[in-house]
Amino acid sequence: MKLSAVPDDIELCLHIDDDHRHMQYFGTDEDYPDSDDDEMNTVRVSIETDTETIGYMELYLLYEDRIDNIVMFADGIAGDVYRAMSTLEENGLLEPFDPDNDSVLDMLDSFSGVIVHLNYIAVRDDFRNKGIGGWLFRNLPKILSRNYGVKPRIISTTICPQSISWGKSEPSFLQPDENSPADEAMRILMEKLFVKNGYQRLNETEHFYVKPSSL
């Protein structure tokens, strides 16, 4: 992976991990990356140098065709996911596919049966403004298609500033003090990043979404 704003002597690598890679499947009728009974998977996408992680995404794949009520299911994951799914439903974005009312493009898009919620995105301070966050956003649908055989119908995310501690592996996230200068600056930065990459704000909330087919 090479970005024009990254120095020539730094080669960036893509590393993809998920919850199912840490599970042992013993049944012969179960396929990786998910079995027919799986309702979700947590995926982690890292941008790495030779020794360190400098960019990171964590997201949930929600297999909507296996979930009776995606809002109630999200209630058992985390508050931000529940609120995001509730807002999507209130705006009619979680309604099931109707072949009588939708176009051929919508029909093709519906076959994946996957809603994605982007939980975390972070780029280390000394690697910001080099196009790494934008590259992750632009390539996320392709990453999921190639590695998990899904084409997201909707990707949602929420402005949720975090205090980030960087180590050699994936970073850790902590909630910062609300209304602090750092908190406000991160909110502005996240909103700009979302909008620049085609995400739309849902009403006056802090939730954003995009339909990858529209990009």
- For 27, the domain range is 13-214
Averaged pLDDT for residues 93-117: 62
The answer as to whether 87 is a domain residue is yes
pLDDT in tens, 162-175: 788 888 788 888 77
User: Which residue type sits at 164?
Assistant: I
Instruction: Please name the helix (run of DSSP H) or strand (run of DSSP E) that holds residue 146, with its range, or none.
Output: helix 132-148
Residue 180 has pLDDT above 80, yes or no: no
The answer as to whether 188 is a domain residue is yes
pLDDT at 53: 93
Is it true that the peptide bond before 33 is cis, omega within 30 degrees of 0?
A: yes
Q: Please check whether residue 210 is in contact with residue 197, taking contact to mean a CB–CB distance below 8 angstroms.
A: yes
Name the domain count of the chain. 1
The answer as to whether 8 is a domain residue is no
Q: Give the pLDDT band of residue 8 (cuts 50, 70, 90).
A: low
The answer as to whether 149 is a domain residue is yes
Query: Which CATH number belongs to the domain containing residue 146 in this structure?
Result: 3.40.630.30
Q: What separation in angstroms does the CA of 142 have from each of 15, 30, 156, 185?
A: 14, 24, 16, 30
Q: Is the pTM of this model over 0.85?
A: no
The answer as to whether 3 is a domain residue is no
* Nearest partner of 158 among 93, 89, 79, judged by Cα: 79
Averaged pLDDT for residues 112-135: 89
User: If you write DSSP's letter for every residue of 26-88 in order, what string do you get?
Assistant: --TT--SS--TT--EEEEEEEEE-SS-EEEEEEEEEEEGGG-S-HHHHHTTT-HHHHHHHHHH
Q: Please check whether residue 76 is in contact with residue 157, taking contact to mean a CB–CB distance below 8 angstroms.
A: no
The answer as to whether 139 is a domain residue is yes
Instruction: Please name the helix (run of DSSP H) or strand (run of DSSP E) that holds residue 152, with its range, or none.
Output: none
Averaged pLDDT for residues 90-112: 60
Cβ neighbours of 113 (radius 10 Å) = 16
pLDDT at 101: 54
Residue 134 has pLDDT above 60, yes or no: yes
The answer as to whether 124 is a domain residue is yes
- The mean-pLDDT minimum among 6-10, 48-52, 122-126, 134-138 falls in 6-10
Tokens of 156: 């949602």
Any bridge partners for residue 121, and if so which? 57
The answer as to whether 36 is a domain residue is yes
